[in-house]
Structure formats: C-alpha cells, structure tokens
Amino acid sequence: MRRTLQAVPLLILISMILFIILNNAPGGPLAPYLQNPHITPADIERLKHNLGLDRPIYFRYFVWLGQVIRGDFGYSTSNSQPVLQAILERLPATLELQVSAFLLALTLGLAAGIFAAVRPYSLADYFITTLAFFGQSMPVFWFALMMQLAFAVHGIHGFGYEFRLPSAGISTYDTFNFSDRLSHLILPTIVLGLLQLALYSRFMRSSMLEVIKTDYMRTASAKGLDGRTVLFKHGLKNAMIPIVTVVALALPGLLGGAVVTETIFAWPGSGRMFFNALGQSDIALLMGYLLVLATLVVFSNLLADVTYAWLDPRVKYD
C-alpha cells in the first residue's frame, strides 16, 4: 500500500518532465501545422491562442493533468482521433507480437539457462553462452533486415519447392486467416525474441549455478531425493528471484511495443504508432503513450517486489 501511494507523486514528476521536454522540442505542439507552406504568421498566432499555447507552460501542464485525470488524453493529430482510442486500437496487434516473442524467449531461455547450469563448462554450456552473447550483441535493426533478406527476399529452396515468409504487415487478407497470420508473425517474433532469450538464459544460468552450490541443495541430494526433484522443486524457485526482476521490467514492453521491430516489419502496433507520432510531432499522442508506459514500469516494479516475497519468505519490506 505504501509503495502504491509513493507511485502517485513519482508518476506526476515523470509527467512533468515529459511535458516540459516534448513542449520544448523543435517546433513544439505546432510542428504539424508549420509544415503547411500556406500557413501565415497570423494563422500561427491564432492557433497558439486557440490551443492555449500562449499561456505559461505550468498552466498548460495543470490543464492537461486535469484532463488526464478525467480520462481525456487529448486529440492525436497524426491519427485524427482521440489519443486513448488510438492507443487501444493498436493494442491487440502489439500484444499478439509481444506475447508470442515473450513466451518463446522465456520458455527457451529458462530451459537453456538451466541446461547450461547443470552442465557447467561443457561444450553445451559454451555453445549456449556463445549464442547468448551473440543474441545480446546483435543490433536489432540489422538482424531484422538480414532475416527479411534471407527468408523473404531469397526464400528457402529445396526438393523442387520454394518457400518465402512475408516481410511486412500483419496479414495478407481482409478476413482472419490463421496460417497467413502465423506466417506474418514468424520473422518479427524471432527478431524480437532473440534479445530476450539471450538475456533470460544468461540470468538463469548464473542464478542456478549459485543455487546448486548451496547447502540446502546438497542436503536434499544427500537425503536421496531424485535429481529432478532437487533441481526443480528446491532449486528453481530460489533461482527465479533474479529472473523476476528481468521479467517485470519486460512486462511494460508487452503493451508498449517494439519501436524498431514494428517499424521495420510494418507491424501495426503501438511501437510503430510511437515512431510515426515522433516524426509528426504529435505531442498529445506522445504524452499519452509515454505516460501509459511509465505507469506500467512503476507498477511492474511493484509487482516484482510482491513476487520476491512470495518466492522467498525471508524477503521483508520494513
């Protein structure tokens, strides 16, 4: 309860900083209108007055904050619709991509990390560690372009068949088609999941190695318990504590989207929406998107703290 109450002034401070930065960016809130070659200085002054931009910035902030409290995030000039509606419309596509990549990375990453920890310094361990470093070092934009080149442009050839994966978009047809939707999902999911997979496997290996060496693990083995029981029942729960932090920080991304990946693959999610809003100086949409993301980050950390206490009863918050 205390941490939840502390989150309120923190979010207000974050919103202040975001509001000041975005409103002082080159062009400011009037940037979309200044691109019109027919606009006159008199038009600009009239727009400033109508939009309240001739008022002090602190006054405009409190007006905006009052609207947000009432659920009004403003109007998006790049989407020609209310900000909240624009964000909610992109949410299903973002969740489809992000959840697919998250589940793929979490499942394979944890399995690879546990396997490497059980067989430390073996060939399998070196292979998994090398792939993890490769995945973390790979620039996302370059890897995405290489995947498009390999599987969408050149394709896979063999036995008289040629197979190509779609390089952009979420579907080919207007109506829902499962196989078509899945084929569009493969490349961006692999690109997005690679970085997370490498991160989870390295954290899982490091944490499991520490747990395996503890006294209670040796005691459980000495009592004659099966190796799998010792590993998964006694070891995994304690080894998951560092993973909780990483997963909690990744949760906001499930709704926030992946800006680079969604832009390269033309995926109609919130990450691509943010990129387009940034290019068009859509201040209202940028503020709404970043505020939602900041709120998710703050409460994901709160969720991680609660999960710590569930995994390890020794964790106390005074």
Q: What is the pLDDT of residues 151-170, one digit of tens each?
A: 888 887 766 677 888 888 88
Cβ–Cβ < 8 Å for 244, 311: yes
pLDDT of residue 317 exceeding 60, the answer is no
Residues 20 and 145 in one domain: no
Residues 104 and 19 in one domain: no
User: Which pLDDT does position 314 carry in this prediction?
Assistant: 64
Residues 226 and 298 in one domain: yes
User: Which pLDDT does position 287 carry in this prediction?
Assistant: 92
Query: Is residue 294 in some structural domain?
Result: yes
Q: Which pLDDT band, with edges at 50, 70 and 90, does 305 fall under? A: confident
Choosing from 72, 106, 123, the residue where a domain stops is 72
User: Which pLDDT does position 291 carry in this prediction?
Assistant: 92
Query: Is residue 81 in some structural domain?
Result: no
Kindly report the average pLDDT of the chain as a whole number.
85
* Structural domain for 171, as ranges: 90-311
CA distance 216 to 241: 17
- Taking residues 205-226, report their average pLDDT: 84
Q: Which pLDDT band, with edges at 50, 70 and 90, does 189 fall under? A: very high
Residues 31 and 130 in one domain: no
User: Which pLDDT does position 15 carry in this prediction?
Assistant: 94
Residues 183 and 294 in one domain: yes
Residue 172: φ, ψ to 5°? -95, -30
Choosing from 22, 44, 72, the residue where a domain stops is 72
User: Which pLDDT does position 18 carry in this prediction?
Assistant: 93
Q: Which of these ranges, 20-34, 77-91, 120-134, 142-156, has the smallest mean pLDDT? A: 20-34
User: What CATH code is carried by the domain that includes residue 243?
Assistant: 1.10.3720.10
Burial 101-120 (b: 16+ CB within 10 A, else e): bbebbbeebbebbbbbbbee
User: Which pLDDT does position 213 carry in this prediction?
Assistant: 82
Residue-wise pLDDT tens digits, 24-60: 887 777 777 777 788 888 888 888 888 788 888 889 8
Query: Is residue 203 in some structural domain?
Result: yes
Residues 64 and 167 in one domain: no
User: Which pLDDT does position 304 carry in this prediction?
Assistant: 78
Query: Is residue 78 in some structural domain?
Result: no
Q: Which pLDDT band, with edges at 50, 70 and 90, does 257 fall under? A: low
Query: Is residue 85 in some structural domain?
Result: no
Residues 126 and 208 in one domain: yes
Task: Sort 72 into a burial class: Cβ within 10 Å, 0-12 / 13-18 / 19+.
Answer: middle
- Global pTM reads 0.81
Query: Is residue 256 in some structural domain?
Result: yes
pLDDT of residue 95 exceeding 80, the answer is yes
Residues 15 and 99 in one domain: no
Residues 209 and 259 in one domain: yes
Residues 96 and 243 in one domain: yes
Residues 57 and 176 in one domain: no
Q: How many domains does the chain have?
A: 2
Torsion of CA 79, 84, 88, 91, to 10 degrees: 80
Q: Which pLDDT band, with edges at 50, 70 and 90, does 17 fall under? A: very high
Structure tokens belonging to residue 295? 């709120």
User: Which pLDDT does position 234 carry in this prediction?
Assistant: 77
Residues 181 and 294 in one domain: yes
Query: Is residue 236 in some structural domain?
Result: yes
Query: Is residue 64 in some structural domain?
Result: yes
